[in-house]
């Protein structure tokens, strides 16, 4: 497995229930602030056997992933709602409330 991808998976595995992280945030944590797209590629390639909470990784606006990722954006949204994530009227996650504060680790 790619070293960068493995490091992404280590971070994603630590995102707590009820919180979300952004692709850019994960890239920053890796010391690779311009690698948000590569984080996205890593998420798409995540092996199922790792049981990662991939649904907790979203874009900086709090939008759901495209339908091809989870089968539909509604599936991802349902998974997040079941963990206590709330959404604004525009359908985006309330990022002020749910963005993972890694400084509290």
**Catalytic residue positions, numbered:** 54
- Please answer whether residues 27 and 38 qualify as being in contact, where contact means their C-beta atoms are separated by less than 8 angstroms: yes
- Please answer whether residues 76 and 55 qualify as being in contact, where contact means their C-beta atoms are separated by less than 8 angstroms: yes
What distance in Å separates the CA atoms of residue 52 and residue 43, rounded to the nearest whole number?
9
Our separate counts of H helices and E strands in the chain read 6, 2
- Please answer whether residues 95 and 62 qualify as being in contact, where contact means their C-beta atoms are separated by less than 8 angstroms: yes
């Amino acid at each position: 497995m790619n070293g960068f991808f493995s490091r992404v998976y280590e971070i994603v595995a630590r995102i707590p229930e009820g919180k979300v992280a952004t692709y850019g945030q994960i890239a920053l944590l890796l010391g690779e602030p311009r690698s948000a797209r590569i984080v996205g590629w890593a998420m798409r390639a995540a092996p199922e056997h790792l049981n990662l909470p991939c649904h907790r990784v979203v874009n900086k606006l709090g939008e759901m992933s495209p339908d091809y990722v989870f089968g539909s954006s509604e599936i991802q949204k349902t998974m997040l709602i079941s963990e206590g994530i709330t959404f604004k009227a525009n359908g985006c996650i309330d990022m002020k409330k749910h963005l993972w504060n890694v400084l509290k680790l």
